[in-house]
Amino acid sequence: MKKTSTRLADGRELIYYDLRDDTVRDAVDRRPLERTVTTSEVRRDVLLGDAVAIASHRQGRTYHPPADQCPLCPTTGDRLSEIPDSSYDVVVFENRFPSLAGDSGRCEVVCFTSDHDASFASLTEEQVALVLDAWTDRTSELSHLPSVEQVFCFENRGEEIGVTLGHPHGQIYAYPFTTPRTALMLRSLAAHKEATGGENLFDSVLERELAGERVVLEGEHWVAFVPYAAHWPYEVHLYPKRRVPDLLGLDEAARTEFPKVYLELLRRFDRIFDGRDGGKEGAGEPPTPYISAWHQAPFGTLEEFDGVSRDDFALHLELFTIRRTSGKLKFLAGSESGMSVFINDVPPERAAERLREVAS
């Protein structure tokens, strides 16, 4: 992997990640952009104890542009985009319309491929390995910023999820606090450790799932399963079998196997509803909308979680879709949105069975 860091016309950082070590990246951003001004602010909800990012400048962000005006495609001739070069393998850059900025953290965009009509599921294993390298490198770099406490790499896929740019891409949020969802995990981890005299909750969950009926896919170093209390109709958690706190902790064997396992998982998601494999042309239901989210241990202090260290946390990826059956979506209505109590119409055991049925 070759990494080349440069600056866009408005001062934002852009980083090329290339498969070839001899690739030269010296293209200049020719757009007449003024320096980006953001109004991001993090406010605490004193009743719930969580945080809300107020970012009014995002109202003006790019919204469903035609394919020939996509800002994530490479620059070609006089059609200038966020990527100055005429080609790329993987690119990461600071979001022009960030939810978090300055002392409130940082937001980045990750472009998985220059092919506008592709999807993550249509990438090669070599390309996925490069994306994994980019996620890992950004996690390392962002963790050293003084305002950052947790790094979150994720992909939203599909207009049903709220995606406004059709180009295959993901995002990285670098939060100035430990997110509420991670804090819940850490509290459960601490309580279990105390109640069992030191047992790790993540290890216990993984051991139970490996012995059960909800395993979807298993390799030598990774296992994917539908969790016992899945919130979403089709939800899969992907864990490395050796517990590590973050992407930096993965050994070479796990990193090598990841692309094959993850691509198979994504392709099965596209086949759940007889959709088109990887977003390429074909008949049937449109590609499955999903959210794919990496959960990593915070880099800040964990003093409030008694007896828990970073090494107790287990890196894992959660992949889920809001589609509950062909042509129907799962909406977060009264119980979910009002009280955070999910109601799942698809039994996790049946979801796991279905995901095994659509294996390649």
Catalytically active residues, by annotation: 169
Q: Is 42 buried (19+), middle (13-18) or exposed (0-12) by CB count in 10 A?
A: middle
Length in residues, the chain:
360
Q: What tokens does 106 get?
A: 């940082």
Helices marked H in the chain: 125-143, 180-195, 201-210, 252-271, 339, 348-357
Helix (H, G, I), strand (E, B) or coil at 253: helix
Contacts of 257 by beta carbon, 8 Å cutoff, 6+ apart: 219, 220, 221, 222
Distance in angstroms (rounded) separating the CA atoms of residues 287 and 274: 9
Q: What are phi and psi of 59, to 5 degrees?
A: -60, -25
Q: Give the burial string for 28-40 (b: 16+ CB within 10 Å, else e).
A: ebeeeeeebebeb
Distance in angstroms (rounded) separating the CA atoms of residues 358 and 181: 31
H-run or E-run covering 295: strand 290-295
Position 296, amino acid: Q
* Nearest C-alpha neighbor of 84 from the set 1, 26, 35, 138: 26
